[in-house]
Amino acid sequence: MKKVFIVEDSSFVVALMNSTDSSHKRAFLIFQKLLRYSEKIRIVIPTPVIYESLFALIRNRISVKVAQEKLWRLLMVRDVLNVSILETTAIRIAPKVEPCILALSKEASIPANDLIVIAIAIEYDNAPVLTFDRNMKQRFKTICPNIFYVLDETEEKKFFETLDNEIC
Amino acid sequence: MNIKNMDKKKNKNKEIQKILKEIVISKKEGAKGDALKELLKMRYGKEWRNAYVHSQV
């Protein structure tokens, strides 16, 4: 059976892991729903997401030991796939991200991690990206149509409709 | 739904709850503040507020 890939951005991962986040409940419910799709999906967590999430948790004054242990547990979940980035990926995806980089004004910042997460989603058959970063969709929608800002209820509904359609 | 399927569903739910418990940092384990806010500050510096929405859910 073909599995549907879903990419999780660091903004979603940290909200899921830190139980006092204002967005934690939403991330928790979405992740719980995803786990019920087990065997039909794979949750893709690119390596930069692991770095960024770990650093954000530490910056939020969570002990390194706890952050390491919890992230490790997340990566050990059967439905989670850790995708590392090879140099060849960068070379291959460059033509796809070029229009987006050039479209943004020279003054605008483009966090490299965001761009790598998007590039991985493109690599994985335009996999949907789940994010709690409001800027992400706006910045990258031209090159990656499946970015879902799932803090918004309508977007969440749209994501699960898309997922159900892909699975059926 | 037969008993076998009900048991399967029950086990699945148990497994999901176990996973969630293992990956979520509870208050007891040191969860505090809003890590999403910290992440967005790392990403955007002073412009982090443009990317952040305080969830009401």
Write out pLDDT tens, residues A84-103: 888 888 888 888 888 777 87
Write out pLDDT tens, residues A20-78: 999 999 999 999 999 999 889 999 999 999 999 999 999 999 999 999 999 999 999 99
Q: What pLDDT shows up at residue A65?
A: 97
Which of the listed ranges A3-7, A92-96, A109-113 does the model predict with the highest average pLDDT? A3-7
Calpha distance A112→A109 (Å, rounded): 9
CA neighbor of A166 nearest in space, from A26, A37, A79, A33: A37
Calpha distance A27→A16 (Å, rounded): 5
ipTM score of complex: 0.89
Q: B47 — contact with chain A (CB < 8 Å)?
A: yes
pTM, rounded to two decimals: 0.92
Q: Do B24 and A28 touch (CB under 8 A)?
A: yes
Nearest chain B Cα to A75, which residue?
A: B23
